[in-house]
């Protein structure tokens, strides 16, 4: 397949200054020696044009230097590199370090937040944090307690701070933020505590709130136009969300926004997904529960939604829709299309036209997915765009709670938040996945502010009838909906991928290995075991004429919550503790950044 032209690639990946994007961020991304944004670029491709490290010499990688974060628990996200400074973050308590790359990584400054440790008890799946953001000479930290901090990038001085949520109601944060134009886009966590999810835009300069858009609620809360906002090409209509809930359940309906955000400067649209409806017990919330489990395309200036697409109506399995939206321009059916590719927790990979929301491809990216036979792709059908649920794997049968066994994937999905990467050289997507199934026992639960509002007990285990492991790393064709190659892993791949112009893809494993893979063939070219399991995202930068690869080690996250939090009951950690019990035989807690280089 043909890829987009040079100019379009530059615009898409943020390689050219555009008045539609934040100039400081775009210019920082344009300098390919830096790693200026968690997602690699506004399009969320996690692709680097650096090629000094390539598939022929990657076997010679060695450790250049390391840095201990001083924090245990799970380390997600990655450092940023702006000029000669690397910015490193930790899980709770969310310490920030500025390291001088021109002076042996000397600590230029550190910021140590003072947070109430009670927030830990209302964080769903470990105390992870997915990283800092940079814009206009500031570094942005969204703390676990939802305090949003702007720090001077040179000195660490606090420039402003605002509070985005209320932990006493179960509102917390684990996600990074996205700087776009004069705004900072910020989400919220807490779907397991019955919060009403939202995305908020704050002024980069002052911290003033500019707009807030809820995932569920009234039209004015959602920032939708009933006649202009579309779902699969049709207007959503008045009260589209609240009419899909019973009574006022939407007020505690979830739809949190703790995933990744991407942005198209040409369309001025930001894309993100919403999480599970609350509670996990589907019998207690009849209806489609809109707009949980939904892809949103919003105008950055106003927050108004242009289109939505709900992937899992009336979710029965906790298949949050928050995973990244990767933006590409590719030739499809003889024409260039502005595409959005999304690997959902529900096990289906979607390709949509990101300008119109048209659904183009919806295919399983793990053949063991069994809760659905697939998505109805007939535009003339009344069920167009909906997955067909296999009754055997429904957790609500004949209107009653049902103890359901053998559901694939498990609640943590065929892929959780760990981001995929895209290479314009191969036109392939590189996807870290979970190969895990579950038993699901729903039960009635009552809502109380700040208390868990789950209503289900889970058990997880490797998908049967396959390689016996709990993960795969695969290459995906988003135009045909096909797996090109797949590498089995003993445990879920909880690390974010990195693709480079050196024809390599990097990822980490829960045992702690950094691996380098041939982007075309899937051949393993290099591996190195770091001090702890990797759930961080691999990044790259150049300094002093040399390319480096960096990754945070520190086992934890949902898959590693047993180790991170010292849990032993198999059903704890929302079912993950039992599923990943063997992980403790291969790794232990730790918080370390490891940076790799080629020999001189």
State the catalytic residue, choosing from 288, 318, 416, 477. Answer: 318
The token duo for 22 is 């934040």
Q: Exposure of 251 by Cβ count < 10 A (0-12 exposed, 13-18 middle, 19+ buried)?
A: middle
The token duo for 470 is 């709990």
Q: Is the peptide bond before 279 cis (omega within 30 degrees of 0)?
A: yes
What is the rounded end-to-end Cα distance, in angstroms, of the chain?
38
What is the SS3 assignment for 596? strand
In 10 A of CB 70, how many CB atoms?
11
- Name the DSSP class of 121: G
- Name the DSSP class of 584: G
- Name the DSSP class of 347: S
Q: What are phi and psi of 387, to 5 degrees?
A: -75, 145
Q: What are phi and psi of 10, to 5 degrees?
A: -60, -45
Using an 8 Å Cβ cutoff, are 367 and 408 in contact?
no
* Helix (H) or strand (E) run with residue 222 in it: helix 219-222
The residue among 184, 218, 212, 216 whose CA lies nearest residue 199 is 212
What is the SS3 assignment for 482? strand
For the question of residue 333 being annotated catalytic, the response is no
Residue written as tokens 């759930």?
A: 535
Longest dimension (CA), the chain: 67
Report the alpha-carbon distance of residue 119 to residue 109 in Å, rounded. 26
What is the SS3 assignment for 286? coil
Using an 8 Å Cβ cutoff, are 44 and 324 in contact?
yes
Q: What are phi and psi of 172, to 5 degrees?
A: -140, -175
The token duo for 234 is 């049709």
Using an 8 Å Cβ cutoff, are 211 and 203 in contact?
no
Using an 8 Å Cβ cutoff, are 438 and 460 in contact?
yes
Return the HEC string of 350-416. EEEECCCCCEEEEEECCCCCCCEEEECCCCCCCCCCCEEECHHHCCEECCEECCEEEECCCCCCCCC
DSSP-derived pairing of the beta strands 158-163 and 147-152: antiparallel
In 10 A of CB 33, how many CB atoms?
17
Q: Is the peptide bond before 202 cis (omega within 30 degrees of 0)?
A: no
The residue among 310, 410, 409, 425 whose CA lies nearest residue 365 is 409
Q: What are phi and psi of 181, to 5 degrees?
A: 55, -125
With b for 16 or more beta-carbon neighbours within 10 A and e for fewer, the 460-490 pattern comes to bbbbeeeeebbbbbbbbbbbebebbbbbebb
In 10 A of CB 452, how many CB atoms?
16
Residues labelled catalytic? 318
């Amino acid at each position: 397949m043909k890829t987009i032209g040079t100019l379009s690639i530059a615009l898409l990946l943020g390689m050219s200054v555009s008045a539609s994007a934040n100039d400081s961020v775009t210019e920082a991304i344009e300098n390919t020696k830096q790693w200026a944004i968690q997602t690699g670029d506004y399009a969320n491709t996690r692709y680097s044009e650096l090629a000094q490290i390539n598939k022929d010499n990657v076997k010679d990688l060695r450790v250049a230097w390391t840095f201990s974060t001083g924090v245990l628990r799970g380390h997600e996200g990655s450092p940023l590199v702006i000029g000669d400074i690397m910015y490193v973050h930790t899980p709770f308590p969310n310490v920030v370090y500025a390291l001088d790359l021109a002076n042996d990584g000397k600590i230029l400054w550190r910021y140590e937040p003072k947070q109430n440790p009670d927030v830990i008890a209302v964080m769903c799946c470990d105390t992870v944090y997915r990283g800092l953001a940079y814009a206009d000479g500031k570094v942005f930290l969204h703390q676990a307690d939802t305090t949003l901090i702007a720090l001077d990038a040179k000195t660490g001085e606090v420039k402003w701070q605002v509070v985005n949520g209320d932990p006493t109601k179960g509102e917390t944060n684990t996600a990074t933020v996205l700087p776009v134009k004069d705004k900072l886009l910020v989400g919220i966590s807490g779907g397991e505590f019955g919060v009403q999810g939202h995305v908020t835009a704050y002024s980069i300069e002052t911290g003033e709130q500019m707009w807030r858009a809820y995932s569920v609620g009234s039209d004015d809360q959602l920032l939708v136009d009933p006649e202009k906002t579309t779902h699969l090409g049709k207007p959503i209509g008045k009260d589209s969300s609240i009419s899909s809930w019973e009574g006022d359940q939407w007020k505690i309906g979830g739809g949190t926004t703790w995933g990744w955000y991407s942005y198209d400067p040409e369309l001025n649209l930001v894309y993100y997904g919403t999480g599970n409806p609350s509670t996990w017990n589907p019998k207690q919330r009849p209806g489609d529960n809109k707009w949980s489990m939904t892809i949103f395309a919003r105008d950055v200036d106003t927050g108004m939604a242009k289109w939505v697409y709900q992937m899992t109506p009336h979710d029965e399995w906790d298949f949050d829709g928050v995973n990244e939206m990767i933006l590409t321009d590719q030739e499809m059916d003889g024409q260039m299309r502005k595409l959005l590719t999304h690997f959902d927790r529900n096990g289906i990979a979607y390709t949509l036209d990101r300008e119109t929301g048209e659904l183009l491809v919806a295919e399983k990216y793990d053949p063991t997915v069994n809760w659905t036979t697939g998505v109805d792709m007939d535009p003339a059908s009344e069920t167009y765009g909906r997955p067909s649920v296999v009754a055997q794997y429904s957790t609500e049968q004949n209107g009653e709670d049902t103890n359901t066994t053998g559901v694939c994937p498990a609640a943590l999905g065929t892929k959780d938040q760990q981001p995929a990467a895209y290479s314009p050289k191969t036109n392939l997507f590189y996807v870290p996945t979970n190969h895990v199934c579950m038993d699901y026992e729903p039960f009635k639960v009552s809502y109380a502010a700040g208390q868990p509002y789950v209503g289900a007990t889970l058990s997880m285990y490797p998908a049967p009838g396959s390689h016996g492991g709990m993960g795969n790393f695969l290459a995906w064709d988003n135009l045909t909906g096909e797996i090109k190659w797949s590498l089995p892993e003993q445990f879920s791949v909880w690390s974010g991928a990195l693709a480079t112009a050196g024809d390599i893809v990097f990822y980490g494993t829960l045992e702690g290995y950094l691996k380098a893979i041939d982007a075309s063939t899937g051949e393993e070219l290099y591996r190195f075991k770091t001090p702890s399991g990797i759930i961080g995202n691999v990044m790259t930068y150049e300094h002093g004429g040399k390319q480096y690869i960096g990754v945070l080690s520190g086992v934890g996250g949902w898959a590693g919550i047993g180790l991170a939090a010292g849990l032993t009951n198999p059903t704890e950690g929302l079912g993950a503790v039992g599923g990943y019990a063997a992980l403790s035989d291969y790794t232990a807690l730790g918080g370390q950044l490891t940076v790799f280089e080629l020999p001189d």
